[in-house]
Amino acid sequence: MMIHKIEPHKYYPEFRSQDPKPSDYLLLFDGEKVYLPSHTENSDVTDTSAGAGISEHPQVYLPTFEEVHGLLGIRQPMERFFLDCEYLFSIDDRAFFRKTTEDAGALMLPEEDLYASGVFRNFEPEYLAFAGITATQINRFRLDRKFCGRCGHPTIHSTTERACICPECGQIEYPKISPAVIIAIVDTEQDKILLTRYAGGSYRHWALVAGFVEVGETFKGAARREIMEEVGLKVSDLVYYKSQPWSFSDSAMIGFFAKLEGDPSITLQESELGEAKWFSREDVPDLPSTISVGQEMITLFKNGGDPFCKR
C-alpha cells in the first residue's frame, strides 16, 4: 500500500499554533537524522500503538515527549522541554512535533539511535512511517531555509503559515514540493511493460521511467519528454493513474500509464539509467513493497489491472 494511504487513520496537514502534550509524538532531529529509540531501552513501553518495529531493527519506534524526556534523562521540567517545539501535523487526535538538538540546548543523542530518512521505507505501523517521512521533509525545509536565499539574512518561522520569512527583505519561502511524473509504458502489441534500473543511487530494484516537471511544462508534456530522453520511445494514450506525496525526495509524484507508439527499440540515457528492459506480465519481478505509486503501477500491470490489459 502506498505510504500516504493510512486509512482508517486521518491526516490533518493544516498549520496550527498548538502546544504539545506529554502523549504527543516528538520527532527529535540531529541535523537530518532522527532519534528513534528501541523498546529494549524502555522496558515500561507496552503500548505498541506508540510506535513499532522496522525490519532491520524490530524494536525501534517513534517516541512521545514523555518517553524522550525519560529515556534521555532530561533534567529540565517537561514544561520547559516543550519550548522551542514546532507543531507539524496531526493524525487522528495525536499531534506530531519537531524539535532539534540545537533547540534543546545542544542535547547529545546516542549515535546508535540516530537514523537517516530511509528508515521510514520499512517502518511499522505504516501510518507512523508516513508521519516520520513527512516530518523529515519539513525538517529538511527548515535546515535548508535558515538563511534568506535573496539577501542572506537569517530567517524566522512564520506564525500564521508553514513558511520561513526574511525579516530584512520580506522574502517568504515555503516547503519544497517538486512535481514529478512517473510513467508505466506498455507495449500493447506484445503485452509488455518497460522497467528500468537507475545508473546510480541506493535503490537497485526495477522501476519506471520518471523525472521532474520543467518550468512551463504540463504533466503530460513532461511525461513524453522524459520518456524520449531516457529511453528514446514515443507514446500515445497517456492515462492518468494517481498522484502521491513523496517526501523522500521532496516531490509530488503524478503517475501515468502510456501506450507505446511505434518501434520498441530502446535508446538508453546512460547518465540516468543503467538498464531498461521489456517484461511480460508473468516475468515482472516481485518488488520489496508497494509504498510508492511506481511500485503500485508495476504490480497492477503484473496482476492484469492496468487500463491496457486485454484479458
For residue 52, what pLDDT is reported? 47
SS3 label, residue 265: coil
The chain-wide mean pLDDT, for the chain, equals 92
What is the spatial distance between Cα 192 and Cα 246, in angstroms, rounded to a whole number?
Answer: 27
Which phi and psi angles does 21 have, rounded to 5°?
-120, 160
pLDDT by residue (tens digit) across 248-257? 999 999 999 9
SS3 label, residue 148: coil
What's the first-to-final CA gap in the chain, in angstroms? 24
What is the spatial distance between Cα 74 and Cα 99, in angstroms, rounded to a whole number?
Answer: 14
Domain boundary assignment for the chain? 11-144, 178-302
Residue type, 306: D
Residue 106's region, left for phi above 0, alpha for psi from -120 to 50, else beta, is left
pLDDT exceeds cutoff 90 at 103: no
Q: Among the listed ranges 56-65, 100-109, 121-130, 143-152, which one has the minimum average pLDDT value?
A: 56-65
Q: 178-302: what fold?
A: Nucleoside Triphosphate Pyrophosphohydrolase (3.90.79)
pLDDT by residue (tens digit) across 200-259? 777 778 999 999 999 999 999 999 999 999 999 999 999 999 999 999 999 999 999 999
For residue 58, what pLDDT is reported? 53
pTM for the predicted model, two decimal places: 0.90
For residue 135, what pLDDT is reported? 98
Q: How far is CA 223 from CA 15, 44, 51, 236, in A?
A: 33, 51, 38, 11
> Which residue shows C-alpha cell 530511509?
118
pLDDT by residue (tens digit) across 41-99? 554 443 434 444 444 555 799 999 999 999 988 888 888 888 889 999 999 999 999 99
Which phi and psi angles does 126 have, rounded to 5°?
-65, -35
* pLDDT > 70 in the chain, percent: 94
Tell me the CB-side half-sphere exposure of residue 39, using CA atoms within 13 A: 16
pLDDT exceeds cutoff 80 at 40: no
Non-local CB neighbours of 12 within 8 Å, separated by 6+ positions: 89, 90, 91
Which cell is 88 given? 507539524
For residue 94, what pLDDT is reported? 97
pLDDT by residue (tens digit) across 152-188? 999 999 999 999 999 999 999 999 999 999 999 999 9
